[in-house]
A and B are shown apart, each in its own frame.
Chain A
Amino acid sequence: MASDRLLEINGLRVEYVAGKNRRTLVSGVDLHLDRGETIAIVGESGSGKTLTARAMIRLLPTGVEATAGEISLAGRDVLRMSDREAARIRGNQISMIFQDPFTMLNPVLRCSGHLEEVLRNRATPVPRREAKAEALARLAEVGILDPSAADRYPFQLSGGMRQRVGLAAALAGDPELLIADEPSTALDVTTQAEILELLKSVQQARGMGLILITHDLRVAFSVAERVYVLYAGALVEVSNAKALEREPLHPYSLGLLLSEPATEFRQAQLLAIDGSVPAPDEVVDQCSFASRCRWAEERCVAAPPPLREVEPQRFSACVRLEEIREEMTSVRREVRAPVLQEVPSAEIASFLAVRDLQKVFSGHRGGVVRALDGVSITVGVNESVGIVGESGSGKTTLGRCLVGLEDPTAGTIDIDGIDASHYSKLTRAERARLRSTVQIVFQDPYSSLDRTETVGAALREVLVVNKFPSQRMNARVDELLERVGLPLGYAKRRPAALSGGERQRVVIARTLALEPKLIVCDEPVSALDVSVQAQILSLFRELRDEFGLSYLFITHDLAVVRQVVDRVYVLYQGKVVEQGPVDQVLDQPEHPYTKRLIASIPRAAA
């Protein structure tokens, strides 16, 4: 008697209502999902994808409410049921797993405890005696076959294992619908692939509905059958996943697809979508993407474009689609044109030489962790070198040793003729010289800036402590801001008023203030939205040509490696396992670990 339609959302509107000014966060979202189907909701941060999902499960943050529309789950109206009823369907009919496996689990509960808690409280409770055995069976379903894992605490497990436990707990109530909110984003590449694979197989085995929320179109294509592209709180395109991958029918989807750097080849230019996502309220009466769209015209800002069926099973909110469709295709072809990468000549003058570097940390109870176990690398003048590895490979420790944030246990670091193995043993003048030679850009632009000081003050501080003549100070600050593509007025802003990409630009400007010759970039784009990543990577490319910079890119992202790096070292458990020119290493990997890394790049389902 149950129909095939599991979930249907019509005209959903989510607003922030707690303050004096109501703000629209999501508007007019229609969505449906059949039993056994997988859909993906794709969007950047601020697109409203997470809020849409939270509305389905009635877990909106305080002050945020679903003010219009309806959500019907198997024929029942989710928005109008009582809190008690909503609590009953959560975990039983509909379940959710979250992005961060490190905070998702209760640290004082054993793994089996998380499962038993759900099993004993679900609609059809499992008796206490059987709960433990059932918990073990559930863990086996998500690939945790070792029964002793059930008795461990979350902190004793790796990120991937925790995500599996979280998934098992979400499945313990046998839900008909599972919502996975960026389930793989916080994980290592190889683990990411495993978790996505697992989600797919569990979904098929159980025949449940799965909603995947992600910012990554490639991840969406690899798992989902239908994709909903959300932008500034509104749907811009809904399409069959394969068709969308073949030909996006909205300029935003196209931009999103193109701004994801390719992993297979180096692109001649990295296409980025300029600017950033507007607030939904600013664009209620027009096409939300118009301000960033190269094809925008008067018609686009006159009225909000409706989502219309342009092809069977394909909906787009672009009014000009028919006129620009061919142009969009040709843009895609252009941007996706690979450039042949010149093979770096062997006789580049070596600029940085690290020999047999070792770093040992003392761990718990007298144990030791070998973060770096005899690593040797070189970076040439104006060369861009990549260090690839997953968490725990020692890649971050290596970067920190280079700028003196860690003291290596053994081995030598030679930077431009200075022995930089131990910063503390250097004279003040040598340290100053080193600082104006090597600089570092950290991963998280949100905490790399002091939130109490303005952008201008941050830049001036670096100039002041490095004895820059004060009469040219302001001119120099303007010059730096301009160089990284920020308006001069930003000098008066504090970090809280900047977006992630803008903050990373400030961080880069700050390192440029010292006119370094080598910049160590520790995952410089992984905390940013896809469309912004491309902007920052392009900036790195430009700066390299302009100032003759050398880079050391520390990253887990093979697309970044392919786009901005000449030569790459693959780091695994503190050792270099493979090295060589990028094309050679990525196209013909030799070491099994490198092969595994490359195999884990998400690809559309065959």
Chain B
Amino acid sequence: MALAAPTSFRTSMFSRSRFRRLPSVFTSISVCIVVVIVILALFGSLIEPHDPAAQDLFHTSAGPSSAHWFGTDGLGRDILSRMIAGAGAAITGPLVVALTGLLAASALGILSGYMGGVIDMVIQRFVDFMFALPGLLIAIVVVGVVGGGYWLAVMVLSLLNFSGGVRILRGAALEQRALPYVEAARTLGVPRFRIMYRHIWRNISPIIFANAALDFALALVALSSLSYLGLGTSPGEAEWGRMLAENQPLLFSNPLGVLSPGLAIVLFATAVTVIGDWFYDRFSFSGRTGR
């Protein structure tokens, strides 16, 4: 005679983190997606059925066939092979953006939140300035004027991206700073840089990594957008955003040419975000018990 449990109360004893110990189906699928893309990026050249750059001008814009599972593009290049070849660019660029964001935001955010005073003010005014810049627009102008290139786009995005993280981590650090364990460390003579990296950084690391996952997803979409606009990657290179643009005319002859890069971008970005969320839920609250 089990009763329906009312849902109006949550006590810390039964917080949702307990229910979230194991990854949900959703998270498991996301992990699979990311693992597949990472494997493709690492070993893609061994799996590719065709040379991604080889043109077969007799079979252009063809639909799926046994020779070309995903069909071919307007120049007769194998779409499956180009998808596989594009996996690398989909990981490295966003990864660099996320990692620089992670490092810069951790350093500036924690410094700003913990030290306060003049340091806080200088960093925050700098962040305000960065916020005032229209990010993607600047990226388009810079990449357009300087002449493009994947790594230039990555660099510009890295510089423009981290200020949001600084704000988030500053707030988190401020919150930790007021907790007794930090005050105890201060009175026990723990040097402040050690407090910052050893205590505060570790305690807010779930936020840091969840934020980096979000950065990754945003950078993936931003880099794809730049490529789609013809900036970023140079013509001919296999990159999902670029494929999306190049294969647009094929929409009716071989829809897979557009669908596969489009879907890949959306799925990959979503999967990374979902994993970041799971990580945050798993580790943020009562998280680690260490027996």
Chain B residues whose CB sits within 8 angstroms of the CB of A511 once the complex forms: 188
Verify B187–A61 contact, CB threshold 8 A: no
Verify A442–B183 contact, CB threshold 8 A: yes
Verify B19–A18 contact, CB threshold 8 A: yes
A152 within 8 A of B: no
User: Within the assembled complex, what's the spacing in Å between the Cα atoms of A395 and B198?
Assistant: 31
Dominant secondary structure at the B interface: loop
B181 within 8 A of A: yes
B47 within 8 A of A: no
Shortest Cβ distance from residue A387 to the other chain B in the assembled complex, whole angstroms: 18
Verify A79–B3 contact, CB threshold 8 A: yes
Verify B189–A466 contact, CB threshold 8 A: yes
User: Within the assembled complex, what's the spacing in Å between the Cα atoms of A509 and B189?
Assistant: 15
Chain B residues whose CB sits within 8 angstroms of the CB of A465 once the complex forms: 188-191, 194
Question: Which 4 pairs show the lowest CB-CB distances between chains A and B?
Answer: A494-B290, A442-B180, A448-B180, A496-B289
> Which of these, B5, B8, B186, B199, contacts A65 with CB under 8 Å?
B5
Verify A64–B5 contact, CB threshold 8 A: yes
Instruction: Select from chain A the residue with minimum beta-carbon distance to B181.
Output: A450
User: Within the assembled complex, what's the spacing in Å between the Cα atoms of A122 and B8?
Assistant: 19
Query: Chain B: how many interface residues by the 8 Å CB criterion?
Result: 38
Q: Which of B195-235 contact A (CB under 8 A)?
A: 198-199, 202-203
Chain B residues whose CB sits within 8 angstroms of the CB of A64 once the complex forms: 5, 14
Verify B189–A86 contact, CB threshold 8 A: no
Verify A60–B9 contact, CB threshold 8 A: yes
User: Within the assembled complex, what's the spacing in Å between the Cα atoms of A578 and B7?
Assistant: 51
- Residue-wise, chain B 8-24 has the 8 Å CB interface mask toward A (1 for contact) of 11110110001100000
A sample of 23 inter-chain contacts (CB < 8 A) reads A19-B19, A59-B8, A60-B9, A63-B14, A64-B14, A67-B1, A405-B183, A432-B189, A440-B187, A442-B183, A443-B180, A444-B180, A448-B184, A450-B202, A451-B288, A453-B202, A454-B290, A465-B188, A465-B194, A493-B291, A496-B287, A496-B288, A510-B188
A349 within 8 A of B: no
Q: Which of B171-195 contact A (CB under 8 A)?
A: 179-181, 183-191, 194
With A63-B14, A447-B180 known as contacts, the answer to whether A405 contacts B186 (CB < 8 A) is: yes
B286 within 8 A of A: yes
Verify B188–A439 contact, CB threshold 8 A: yes
User: Within the assembled complex, what's the spacing in Å between the Cα atoms of A79 and B5?
Assistant: 11
Q: Which residues of A line the B interface, CB within 8 A?
A: 16-19, 54, 58-68, 79-80, 83, 86, 403-405, 431-432, 435, 439-440, 442-444, 447-454, 461-462, 465-466, 492-494, 496-497, 507, 510-511, 513-514
User: Within the assembled complex, what's the spacing in Å between the Cα atoms of A331 and B18?
Assistant: 43
> Which of these, A16, A19, A83, A403, contacts B6 with CB under 8 Å?
A83
Verify B184–A507 contact, CB threshold 8 A: yes
Chain B residues whose CB sits within 8 angstroms of the CB of A440 once the complex forms: 184, 187
Chain B residues whose CB sits within 8 angstroms of the CB of A451 once the complex forms: 181, 203, 287-288
Verify B288–A494 contact, CB threshold 8 A: yes
User: Within the assembled complex, what's the spacing in Å between the Cα atoms of A431 and B186?
Assistant: 11
Verify A497–B289 contact, CB threshold 8 A: yes
B4 within 8 A of A: yes
> Which of these, A67, A448, A453, contacts B2 with CB under 8 Å?
A67
Verify A431–B2 contact, CB threshold 8 A: no
User: Within the assembled complex, what's the spacing in Å between the Cα atoms of A59 and B4?
Assistant: 11
Instruction: Select from chain A the residue with minimum beta-carbon distance to B202.
Output: A452
User: Within the assembled complex, what's the spacing in Å between the Cα atoms of A351 and B38?
Assistant: 65
User: Within the assembled complex, what's the spacing in Å between the Cα atoms of A496 and B2?
Assistant: 31
Choose among B8, B180, B191 the residue with the greatest number of A CB atoms under 10 Å from its CB: B180
Chain B residues whose CB sits within 8 angstroms of the CB of A19 once the complex forms: 18-19
Chain B residues whose CB sits within 8 angstroms of the CB of A58 once the complex forms: 6
Chain A residues whose CB sits within 8 angstroms of the CB of B190 once the complex forms: 461-462, 465
Choose among B18, B185, B189, B191 the residue with the greatest number of A CB atoms under 10 Å from its CB: B189
Q: Which residues of B line the A interface, CB within 8 A?
A: 1-11, 13-14, 18-19, 179-181, 183-191, 194, 198-199, 202-203, 286-291
Chain A residues whose CB sits within 8 angstroms of the CB of B199 once the complex forms: 450, 452-453
Chain B residues whose CB sits within 8 angstroms of the CB of A444 once the complex forms: 180
Verify A59–B6 contact, CB threshold 8 A: yes
> Which of these, B11, B181, B183, B189, contacts A61 with CB under 8 Å?
B11
Shortest Cβ distance from residue A82 to the other chain B in the assembled complex, whole angstroms: 9
Chain B residues whose CB sits within 8 angstroms of the CB of A513 once the complex forms: 188
Chain A residues whose CB sits within 8 angstroms of the CB of B11 once the complex forms: 61
Shortest Cβ distance from residue A386 to the other chain B in the assembled complex, whole angstroms: 21
With A404-B187, A450-B181, A510-B188 known as contacts, the answer to whether A61 contacts B289 (CB < 8 A) is: no
Choose among B179, B194, B286, B290 the residue with the greatest number of A CB atoms under 10 Å from its CB: B290
Chain B residues whose CB sits within 8 angstroms of the CB of A68 once the complex forms: 1
User: Within the assembled complex, what's the spacing in Å between the Cα atoms of A493 and B1?
Assistant: 40
Shortest Cβ distance from residue A181 to the other chain B in the assembled complex, whole angstroms: 12
Chain B residues whose CB sits within 8 angstroms of the CB of A507 once the complex forms: 184
Verify B3–A435 contact, CB threshold 8 A: no
Instruction: Select from chain A the residue with minimum beta-carbon distance to B289.
Output: A496
Shortest Cβ distance from residue B90 to the other chain A in the assembled complex, whole angstroms: 33
Shortest Cβ distance from residue A457 to the other chain B in the assembled complex, whole angstroms: 10
Chain B residues whose CB sits within 8 angstroms of the CB of A403 once the complex forms: 187
Verify B19–A59 contact, CB threshold 8 A: no
Verify B187–A405 contact, CB threshold 8 A: yes
User: Within the assembled complex, what's the spacing in Å between the Cα atoms of A516 and B282?
Assistant: 39
Verify B2–A439 contact, CB threshold 8 A: no
With A465-B190, A492-B290, A496-B289 known as contacts, the answer to whether A510 contacts B184 (CB < 8 A) is: yes
With A65-B3, A497-B291 known as contacts, the answer to whether A435 contacts B180 (CB < 8 A) is: no
Instruction: Select from chain B the residue with minimum beta-carbon distance to A455.
Output: B290
Verify A61–B188 contact, CB threshold 8 A: no
With A435-B188, A452-B202, A452-B203 known as contacts, the answer to whether A62 contacts B291 (CB < 8 A) is: no
Verify B5–A435 contact, CB threshold 8 A: no
Shortest Cβ distance from residue A99 to the other chain B in the assembled complex, whole angstroms: 12
User: Within the assembled complex, what's the spacing in Å between the Cα atoms of A83 and B11?
Assistant: 20
Chain B residues whose CB sits within 8 angstroms of the CB of A449 once the complex forms: 181, 184
Choose among B13, B187, B199 the residue with the greatest number of A CB atoms under 10 Å from its CB: B187
Instruction: Select from chain B the residue with minimum beta-carbon distance to A444.
Output: B180
Chain A residues whose CB sits within 8 angstroms of the CB of B188 once the complex forms: 435, 439, 462, 465-466, 510-511, 513-514
Instruction: Select from chain A the residue with minimum beta-carbon distance to B182.
Output: A450
Chain B residues whose CB sits within 8 angstroms of the CB of A450 once the complex forms: 181, 185, 199, 202-203
Shortest Cβ distance from residue A476 to the other chain B in the assembled complex, whole angstroms: 15
Verify A54–B9 contact, CB threshold 8 A: yes
User: Within the assembled complex, what's the spacing in Å between the Cα atoms of A439 and B179?
Assistant: 17
Shortest Cβ distance from residue B19 to the other chain A in the assembled complex, whole angstroms: 7
Shortest Cβ distance from residue B244 to the other chain A in the assembled complex, whole angstroms: 43
Chain A residues whose CB sits within 8 angstroms of the CB of B180 once the complex forms: 442-444, 447-448
